[in-house]
Every structure is written in structure tokens, then in C-alpha cells.
């Protein structure tokens, strides 16, 4: 008798960043609800295909089982993320840079405005940076007029904080 062989699941463990906005929190809740609604159909499909006999040669069963495993894993991850998330609330105190603020900086005679959010929502093309990025880390806690130096891979870049919103 042949023993079923399952490929090792590839899971990338990254450091969990709990900071998310209310909009992202709501988006994750909706995604979780959709997955929970899809789960019974996936379970039913696995049970239906299990009736066909030999599991080792039942490719449809193996695929359905993989889909169910994926749904279950995503549900667990989303529930964990929602349970441990901290909502970013807009802070009216702009005396120093905090998560959620928009910060205008000047570097090389050019001004740019960045919003500092959690890793889950960072999007450098939209100037939304993570609090864990080199620039995000350097900006946190600084005040208007402060100059920071960010060490990148091959050079140092100097930024001056112009405005905090």
C-alpha cells in the first residue's frame, strides 16, 4: 500500500505588525466572512470526492483537500490578525511624528509627503510607508525642522521635516 505524500507547506513567518486603519480592519473582516461562507462548500466537496474511493489516485480529492486547507489557514491568519490588531486613529497632536500622520519632508531640494501606516497597508508608489521602513523608523518621534539621515544600501539620504499633518 502506498502512503500518501504531502508536499511541505511553505509558510513565511514574518514579524506581525498590528497597526492598521479602520478601513483595512473592515476590509479584513469582509474577507474573513467570505472565507467562512466558502468553507462549508469546500468541506462538502471534500466529503463528496472522498466517496470515490482510493485517496492516493484521486486527484480531484487531493486538490479539494488542498483548497480546504488553504481556506482554513487563511481563516486562522485573519482571525489572529483581527484579534491582535491595533487601530490607527488620527491624532490631532502634530507636535511630533506618529503612526497615521502625513509628513512632508525635503530632500535634495524636492518635497514629498508620506503617510506613515502599518506594514499591511504600505504602498510606496502612493507615498504610504511602513512605520518599520528605514524612513518610517527615522521619522517617528521627530518634530518640524528636525533633520534626519537615513542610511540606505549604498548611500545616506538627508531629510528635513517641513510639515506634520
- Domains in the chain: how many in total? 2
Report how far residue 101's alpha carbon sits from residue 116's, in angstroms, rounded to the nearest whole number.
6
Cell of 61: 480529492
In tens digits, the chain (165 residues) has pLDDT values of 455 555 655 554 556 788 899 999 999 999 999 999 999 999 999 999 888 877 777 888 889 999 999 999 999 999 999 999 999 887 788 889 999 999 999 998 899 999 999 988 999 999 999 999 999 999 999 999 999 999 888 889 999 999 999
Please state the φ and ψ torsions of residue 162, each to the nearest 5 degrees: -100, -45
Residues 6+ apart with CB under 8 A from 140: 97, 98, 99, 116, 131
Domain end among 87, 122, 144 = 87
For the beta carbon of residue 34, count every other beta carbon within 10 angstroms: 12
Residues 81 and 25 in one domain: yes
Q: Which domain holds residue 122?
A: 102-164
Residues 114 and 80 in one domain: no
In a domain, 7, yes or no: no
Q: With CA atoms as reference, report the closest residue to 113 among 96, 126, 131.
A: 126
CATH number at residue 109: 3.10.50.30
Domain end among 27, 61, 87 = 87
Residues 78 and 137 in one domain: no
For the beta carbon of residue 111, count every other beta carbon within 10 angstroms: 11
Residues 23 and 77 in one domain: yes
In a domain, 11, yes or no: no
Start-to-end CA distance of the chain, whole Å, equals: 67
Amino acid at each position: 500500500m502506498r502512503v500518501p505524500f504531502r508536499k511541505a507547506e511553505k509558510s513565511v513567518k514574518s514579524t506581525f505588525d498590528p497597526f492598521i486603519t479602520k478601513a483595512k480592519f473592515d476590509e479584513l473582516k469582509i474577507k474573513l466572512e467570505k472565507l467562512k461562507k466558502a468553507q462549508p462548500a469546500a468541506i462538502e466537496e471534500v466529503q463528496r470526492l472522498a466517496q470515490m474511493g482510493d485517496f492516493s489516485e484521486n486527484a480531484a480529492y487531493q486538490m479539494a483537500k488542498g483548497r480546504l486547507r488553504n481556506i482554513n489557514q487563511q481563516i486562522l491568519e485573519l482571525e489572529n490578525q483581527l484579534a491582535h490588531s491595533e487601530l490607527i486613529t488620527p491624532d490631532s497632536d502634530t507636535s511630533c511624528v506618529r503612526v497615521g500622520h502625513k509628513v512632508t519632508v525635503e530632500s535634495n531640494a524636492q518635497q514629498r509627503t508620506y503617510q506613515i501606516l502599518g506594514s499591511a497597508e504600505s504602498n510606496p508608489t502612493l507615498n504610504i510607508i511602513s512605520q518599520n521602513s528605514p524612513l518610517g523608523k527615522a521619522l517617528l518621534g521627530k518634530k518640524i525642522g528636525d533633520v534626519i539621515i537615513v542610511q540606505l544600501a549604498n548611500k545616506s539620504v538627508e531629510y528635513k521635516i517641513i510639515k506634520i499633518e
